[in-house]
Structure 1
Amino acid sequence: MAAKTDYSSMSIADLQALSDEVSAALEAKKDERRQELLKELEALGGSPKSATRRTADEGTGTTRPKPGAKYRSKKSPDVTWTGRGALPNWLKAEMEETGETDKEAFRIAA
């Protein structure tokens, strides 16, 4: 291992350059190790495709459809709620105004 360096006496530019060098060296080591592991995997009969991880951008390939609205405002028909999560403020207010005690009075007919 290298001798200890006094980083506090280095300029910001020097520290940034050192950081860039270290980052590049780490990436090179990671790539080197990845290649070694892929060769070992191939020697064992595995495929590199099965060993790679999906990135966040690739996702899982499946998405769920948005849930449909189950409840509609009587005042403003364009205001709806899926029935998931907390009771929305508009529904609470309309229930108080109309004297309804059950949200089912606002359910959209199927």
Structure 2
Amino acid sequence: MAGINVDKMSLKELVDLEAKVKKAIASARDRERSDLKKKMADLAETHGFSVSELFGAPRGKSAGRTKSVGVAKYANPENRADTWTGRGRKPNWLVERLRKGAKLNDFAI
């Protein structure tokens, strides 16, 4: 890989590079996790076991259940990526604006 001179890059180029690096790290982490799971399963199998026999099945309330993901009902007008489903604790951006006199319906999607 050729050396990258970050000192001569513009802010936009640096931000783009950062995004690419984060994506590459996440991909490498997933790849390594998958490889390790396969190696562990293969090793357990060579000794006559399954991974679930060695480490047990998931326990607790959420074992075997999938978590439902709520649909966003409210969004921050300054940053549409900041959303809230209306369930659970109100996000800080919403609490702040409600304190200043805004109505909850002002943020409905």
The TM-score normalised by the length of structure 2 is 0.39
The TM-score normalised by the length of structure 1 is 0.39
Structure ranking higher in strand proportion = 2
